[in-house]
Amino acid sequence: MSFVLCYGCYEIFLKVHFQRHSALTHKGQDHRTRLNKSSYRVFGLALLHFRKGHMVTSTALREPRSEKVVVVNEVNEQLSSSSAVILTEYRGLKVKELEELRRGLAAAGGNYKIYKNTLVKRAAESHGLESLFGLLEGPTGVTFVDGDLAQVAKVLKEFSKGHPNLVIKGGVVGSSFVDAKQTAALADLPSREQMYAMLAGALAAPMVQFAGLLKAVPQKFAYALSALIQSKEGDEGK
């Protein structure tokens, strides 16, 4: 707004100043003193004109504010729909390398985004994730995880081995903060499919035993019922 004020006043000042300068020069008068007085008077009138609300602020200067709101809202939505967030430093990575990383993460269920740290902090604060503030320094990429956390962490870890400029900083899983070492350790966890297989294997033996027990119950019930009938028939024969 201050820029619009200065520019608008300056524009009015120059216009009136040169109009008066031309008029006085044409008349051949000694106009230096009169120009100085009139210049200050014009500048003061321009300020008064602005205060009365006749000057309109440029919409181009208001656009960055609306853009910031859009970005903060986008980060808020990503945080709401993600099960985890991992922050990395990407200083020195080329555009092609970042695109390669994005593709790999997308296949694993991750979404790699780059925002201004201040805007991410605003969104994180609204979600109670102030623990991320210390990581939001320097060029920082944000990986939103809505798929397999272990697979996403593995993609980041493997990519960092071939591209040392990618540095894993840490993040949050749910609402719990994890540092760089803990984040890297997530890559060593079994994938979701592997965990399902392990769980199914752990339940397989008890389920077989339970199925055998269910099969044995009616058999034993049948034997007991048969014995009871034979006992009743023997009593009647006596």
What secondary structure does DSSP assign to the chain, as a single string?
-HHHHHHHHHHHHHHHHHHHHHHHHHHT---HHHHHHHHHHHHHHHHHHHHTT-SPPPHHHHHHHHHHHHHHHHHHHHHHH-SEEEEEE-TT--HHHHHHHHHHHHHHTEEEEE--HHHHHHHHHHTT-GGGGGG--SSEEEEEESS-HHHHHHHHHHHHHH-TT-EEEEEEETTEEEEHHHHHHHTTSPPHHHHHHHHHHHHHHHHHHHHHHHHHHHHHHHHHHHHHHHHHHHHHH-
Separation in Å, CA 25 to CA 10, 43, 153: 22, 21, 77
* Domain residue ranges in the chain: 2-57, 68-186
How many Å apart are CA 18 and CA 12, to the nearest integer? 10
- Note the pLDDT of residue 196: 54
- Note the pLDDT of residue 65: 75
pLDDT in tens, the chain (238 residues): 444 444 455 455 445 554 555 554 444 445 444 545 555 554 555 555 545 454 444 444 344 478 899 999 999 999 999 999 999 999 999 999 999 999 999 999 999 999 999 999 999 999 999 999 999 999 999 999 999 999 999 999 999 999 999 999 999 999 899 999 999 999 988 655 555 555 555 555 565 555 555 555 555 444 444 554 455 455 555 5
- Note the pLDDT of residue 58: 43
- Note the pLDDT of residue 174: 92
- Note the pLDDT of residue 189: 80
- Note the pLDDT of residue 74: 96
**Which superfamily does CATH assign the domain made up of 68-186 to?**
Ribosomal protein L10, N-terminal RNA-binding domain (3.30.70.1730)
Say which amino acid occupies 54: H
- Note the pLDDT of residue 188: 87
Nearest alpha carbon to residue 163 among 85, 89, 82: 89
- Note the pLDDT of residue 7: 46
